Chains A and B, each alone.
Chain A
Amino acid sequence: MSDMSENLLELKGISKSFPGVQALDNVDFDLRPGEVHALVGENGAGKSTLVKVITGVHQPDAGEIRFQGQPVTFPNPLVAQQHGVAAIYQEPTLFPDLSVGENIFIGHQPVRPMTRRMDWKRLYERAGELLNALGVKLDPRTRVRGLSVAQQQMVEIAKALSLNARILIMDEPTSALTLRDVEDLFRITRRLREAGTAIVFISHRLEEAFELADRITVLRDGHYVGTRPVPSTTTDEVIQMMVGRTLDTLFPKEEVEIGEVMLRVEGLTKEGLFHDVSFELRRGEILGLAGLVGARRTDVARAIFGISPADSGSIWVDSRQVRISNPQEALALGIVYVPEDRQQQGLVLPMDITQNITLPILREFARRGGWLDNSAERETAQEFAERLDVRAAGLWQKVQQLSGGNQQKVVLAKWLAARPHILILDEPTRGIDVGTKAAVHELMSKLAGQGMSILMISSELPEILGMSDRIVVMYEGRVTAHFTRQEATQEKIMAAATGQPFSNS
């Protein structure tokens, strides 16, 4: 392990700080050809910063990078690229207006030797070859705008391949993927490993790290904790390294009494998106909405919340039929929606915690003539920030300075402050660290216990199984199954979610 010549890339004593944050503190990391090296840690542990140091986006304040034993610096992404470093990020960094083929070759498009003219024919041929090699059926002339996240990831991988990458960094590539897509990704990853590519794999799903990786390195709060070869370590050990303690249970759903029907959806249809969706949600119940990415669960939620209302079908709240044509009306009925994309849809990043929490209920603090009662506003924000244990220097802190987990807490605080009866959560724990995840689950359980009705969209089966009282499964815009907590199994849900025939005993 310590043989220098064996290492393709070696980082020693890397430190990096940003105003107010020590993102990396004396971190070591090494990478060998033909291995998958998983990098794990809670959010804010410094994984992404380390990746950006390797890809040349950030320059370390201290420390040394060795490539094939030689010290190097990566002053910009281009130099890193020239050393064969390629990266795939959680959010695909593609150009929506350009074609798939162009995206693959951006920055190193094939040109005719003399004229430097773009060789479009060769570009599309080679792009087609790369996509074929990955087993992806995608026309390289298609525009990227409109592709699914999974398709975009594949374009990213093809892009990395086109660079003949010797080091491929995958930063949370699976968080937006369905199980099936993840399997594809793993298949491709293994193939790359066999071809001798060194792969850095970052994921918050430990089971994936164990499935794929040869070694696992753990970071915590910007510090290096340790590296373990996979066969000789356990999930428990790695979790302990990550959080510094053992976790008892991730899914603490308590049994609560289920009350009357709070929300009933009947025959909800939106042309081209979903058809004839029906289900009901009771007081104190957590209803899991399972399915693959692209099953149009989010579209159903958006229809209920009034962001893009359905074409036909009816919604009943508290046994009254209602029309919800915009979020304001949903809000008035006590329905709130916590979107999956926190940064874009959930938060106003440049504004402070107070202002974010009170955004939907600002009118409550408006006195005569619209005058804002700042102290009342602050009190409310304080109350809910405390209830959710938001960690920040103060309520005045801008949300963009908070960690991902704390941002999610602010989003939840915002919606709880609106005192909803019906809470729709869209992938509530996506991309947040283990500790916050547990806190979110605990909170959901508590809220249900207080009589709130929760509709939870989740692509993580353990979460669905652990948290839901009942489960509705969708496939391609249609409801394909209903299960109770007792009858649901991973296999049954998966079958329904992939549109396969099943027997519901």
Chain B
Amino acid sequence: MVTVSEEKKGRSLLLLFAGVREMGISVFIVFLIAAVSLRSPYFLTVDNLVYILIDIAILTIVAIGETLVILTRSIDLSVASTLALSGMIVGMTISKHQGIPPAVAVLMGLAIGAVLGSVNGLLVAKGRIPPIIATLGTLSIYRGLVFAISGGAWVDAHEMPRPFVYLSKNTTLGIPNLVLFAIIVAIIFYYFLNHTRTGREIYAVGSNPSAARVVGIRVDRILFLVYLLSGTLAGMAGVLWISRYASAQSDTASGFELQAIAATVVGGVNIFGGSGTLPGVVLGSLLMGIIVNALNLIRISPFWKLAVQGFIILLAVVSDALLSRRLQQAGASEGAS
């Protein structure tokens, strides 16, 4: 008879399982918060926590796009370049046409990101170029385009219309706009990933691509879609970025792609696709934000920051792997009976 021998036990264990990816990082974050609070009482103030949220807003948006891609066993290395290019085009446009309302600027960013993302999507889904190569290529190409269209010039604070600069600074209902953007994106994509067919198909494609084909999922379309969305989110992040830092340059956000991937991976998304949750990714970004914030607060030497950052990322990943493996082993032995 096909049964799960001890159904109840099995289920409670599996529930634990389902939560475990977020659990590991949550424990880690709590531990980190406790440790930092001891060193700096200022850390646990509302003021500072809001600041951390503002700080990770853009990272979270980009990391969510990256998550969609990684879930399908792919990777998008071009997000930072997409962000920069979108930011530059929008920046140049609004500096020439001061009347453009911020909302339109954001939409422009979305559109530009969508175009750039769909180029990646075509290269991967239609051109059948391995994702890491295709986006390694567009990483350089988009970055070069930023320089080419701007001619090396820059857009700075006084060239931007006031409403635009205040877009990232203002609050709505007491919530900073940047945080609000991130929350909206997170909610939309949480819904998308968990409550739409297409969202589930993204998991399916990453979980077992050949089976996905057999059940009639258009794998190419899904691949195209995730790149499109990743690009779109990066494009939007580009607009928020130039609003926040009040400047668009050719080296905007260089190296940001690795941060986004790190946040995703630390958030428990399997780099080999198929598993990972949106709350996990948000927590991953949060952990990254907390690390940076905490390092500043405990007044660590600037020369130690990078090393500590790297060490904590490794520690988070290693402990998460060991923890989930132990639980998996426990699960296997339970299921064996």
In-complex A–B contact (CB below 8 Å): yes
The chain A residues found within 8 Å of chain B, CB to CB, are 55, 57, 76-78, 81, 87, 89, 93-98, 102, 106-107, 109, 111, 116-118, 120, 135-139, 141-143, 146, 148, 150-151, 154, 180-181, 184, 271-273, 296, 476-477
Q: Which 9 A-B pairs have the closest CB atoms?
A: A272-B333, A78-B216, A93-B211, A95-B207, A97-B207, A97-B274, A137-B3, A97-B275, A77-B216
**Chain B contacts of A78 at CB under 8 A?**
216
**Interface pair A142/B11, CB less than 8 Å apart:** yes
**Chain B contacts of A477 at CB under 8 A?**
336
Give the CA-CA distance A111 to B199 in the complex, in Å: 13
Closest chain A residue to B204 by CB distance? A95
- Cβ of B14 within 8 Å of any chain A Cβ, yes or no, is yes
A interface, over-half SS: loop
How many Å from the CB of B130 to the closest CB on chain A? 16
**Interface pair A76/B14, CB less than 8 Å apart:** no
Residue pairs across A and B with Cβ atoms less than 8 A apart, 13 shown, are A77-B215, A97-B207, A118-B199, A135-B1, A136-B2, A137-B4, A139-B11, A142-B14, A143-B14, A146-B331, A146-B332, A271-B333, A272-B329
Give the CA-CA distance A137 to B10 in the complex, in Å: 12
Give the CA-CA distance A109 to B10 in the complex, in Å: 25
How many Å from the CB of B265 to the closest CB on chain A? 16
Give the CA-CA distance A409 to B305 in the complex, in Å: 58
Give the CA-CA distance A477 to B337 in the complex, in Å: 8
Closest chain A residue to B330 by CB distance? A272
**Chain B contacts of A87 at CB under 8 A?**
214
**Interface pair B200/A106, CB less than 8 Å apart:** yes
**Chain B contacts of A184 at CB under 8 A?**
1-2
Given contacts A77-B213, A272-B332, A272-B334, contact A143 B18 (CB under 8 A): yes
Give the CA-CA distance A233 to B44 in the complex, in Å: 82
Give the CA-CA distance A184 to B337 in the complex, in Å: 20
Given contacts A96-B207, A137-B2, contact A142 B214 (CB under 8 A): no
Closest chain B residue to A79 by CB distance? B216
- Cβ of B208 within 8 Å of any chain A Cβ, yes or no, is yes
**Interface pair A118/B197, CB less than 8 Å apart:** yes
B interface, over-half SS: helix
Contact of B2 among A81, A89, A107, A181 (CB under 8 A): A181
Give the CA-CA distance A296 to B335 in the complex, in Å: 12
**Chain A contacts of B1 at CB under 8 A?**
135, 137, 180, 184
Give the CA-CA distance A141 to B12 in the complex, in Å: 11
**Chain A contacts of B309 at CB under 8 A?**
none
- Cβ of B203 within 8 Å of any chain A Cβ, yes or no, is yes
Given contacts A106-B215, A146-B331, A272-B333, contact A139 B4 (CB under 8 A): yes
- Cβ of B299 within 8 Å of any chain A Cβ, yes or no, is no
Give the CA-CA distance A137 to B6 in the complex, in Å: 10
Given contacts A107-B215, A109-B197, A476-B337, contact A97 B203 (CB under 8 A): yes
Give the CA-CA distance A89 to B195 in the complex, in Å: 28
**Interface pair A96/B208, CB less than 8 Å apart:** yes
Which of B3, B201, B336 has the most chain A CB within a 10 Å cutoff?
B336
- Cβ of B47 within 8 Å of any chain A Cβ, yes or no, is no
How many Å from the CB of B195 to the closest CB on chain A? 5
How many Å from the CB of B8 to the closest CB on chain A? 10
Closest chain A residue to B209 by CB distance? A95
Contact of B206 among A97, A137, A181 (CB under 8 A): A97
**Interface pair A151/B2, CB less than 8 Å apart:** yes
Contact of B208 among A81, A95, A154 (CB under 8 A): A95
Give the CA-CA distance A106 to B215 in the complex, in Å: 7
How many Å from the CB of A394 to the closest CB on chain B? 29
Interface residues as binary, B16-47 with A (CB distance below 8 Å gives 1, 0 otherwise): 01100000000000000000000000000000
Closest chain B residue to A144 by CB distance? B207
Give the CA-CA distance A476 to B333 in the complex, in Å: 12
Q: How many residues of B contact A (CB 8 A)?
A: 42
Give the CA-CA distance A273 to B333 in the complex, in Å: 6
How many Å from the CB of A163 to the closest CB on chain B? 10
Given A107-B215, A109-B197, 12 other A-B residues pairs in contact with their CB atoms under 8 A:
A57-B213, A89-B214, A95-B274, A96-B208, A97-B207, A118-B199, A120-B195, A139-B7, A139-B11, A184-B2, A272-B332, A272-B334
Give the CA-CA distance A184 to B3 in the complex, in Å: 12
**Chain A contacts of B48 at CB under 8 A?**
none
How many Å from the CB of B333 to the closest CB on chain A? 2
Given contacts A97-B203, A97-B206, A150-B2, contact A296 B336 (CB under 8 A): yes
**Interface pair B196/A143, CB less than 8 Å apart:** no
Closest chain A residue to B211 by CB distance? A93
Given contacts A138-B4, A151-B2, A181-B2, contact A95 B203 (CB under 8 A): yes
**Chain A contacts of B4 at CB under 8 A?**
137-139, 142, 151
- Cβ of B296 within 8 Å of any chain A Cβ, yes or no, is no
Give the CA-CA distance A151 to B2 in the complex, in Å: 6
**Interface pair A106/B204, CB less than 8 Å apart:** yes
Contact of A94 among B206, B208, B335 (CB under 8 A): B208
- Cβ of B119 within 8 Å of any chain A Cβ, yes or no, is no
Give the CA-CA distance A117 to B206 in the complex, in Å: 21
- Cβ of B210 within 8 Å of any chain A Cβ, yes or no, is yes
**Interface pair A102/B11, CB less than 8 Å apart:** no
**Interface pair B204/A98, CB less than 8 Å apart:** yes
How many Å from the CB of A319 to the closest CB on chain B? 32
Give the CA-CA distance A120 to B333 in the complex, in Å: 30
- CB proximity to A under 8 Å, residues B126-160: none
Give the CA-CA distance A338 to B119 in the complex, in Å: 47
How many Å from the CB of B207 to the closest CB on chain A? 4
Given contacts A81-B216, A94-B211, A139-B11, contact A272 B274 (CB under 8 A): no
**Chain B contacts of A95 at CB under 8 A?**
203-204, 207-208, 211-212, 274
**Chain A contacts of B298 at CB under 8 A?**
none
Give the CA-CA distance A97 to B207 in the complex, in Å: 6
Closest chain B residue to A135 by CB distance? B1
Give the CA-CA distance A273 to B14 in the complex, in Å: 19
Give the CA-CA distance A181 to B3 in the complex, in Å: 11
Contact of B10 among A96, A142, A150, A476 (CB under 8 A): A142
Give the CA-CA distance A271 to B333 in the complex, in Å: 7
Given contacts A95-B208, A96-B208, A98-B203, contact A139 B214 (CB under 8 A): no
**Interface pair B195/A146, CB less than 8 Å apart:** no
**Chain B contacts of A55 at CB under 8 A?**
214
**Chain B contacts of A89 at CB under 8 A?**
214
**Chain A contacts of B216 at CB under 8 A?**
76-78, 81, 107
How many Å from the CB of B10 to the closest CB on chain A? 7
- Cβ of B185 within 8 Å of any chain A Cβ, yes or no, is no
**Chain A contacts of B333 at CB under 8 A?**
271-273
**Interface pair B207/A138, CB less than 8 Å apart:** no
Give the CA-CA distance A329 to B126 in the complex, in Å: 47
**Chain B contacts of A109 at CB under 8 A?**
197, 200
Give the CA-CA distance A136 to B1 in the complex, in Å: 7
Give the CA-CA distance A109 to B216 in the complex, in Å: 13
- Cβ of B194 within 8 Å of any chain A Cβ, yes or no, is yes
- Cβ of B292 within 8 Å of any chain A Cβ, yes or no, is no
Closest chain A residue to B337 by CB distance? A476
How many Å from the CB of A303 to the closest CB on chain B? 14
Interface residues as binary, B167-208 with A (CB distance below 8 Å gives 1, 0 otherwise): 000000000000000000000000100111101110110111
**Chain B contacts of A135 at CB under 8 A?**
1
Which of B2, B203, B208, B333 has the most chain A CB within a 10 Å cutoff?
B2
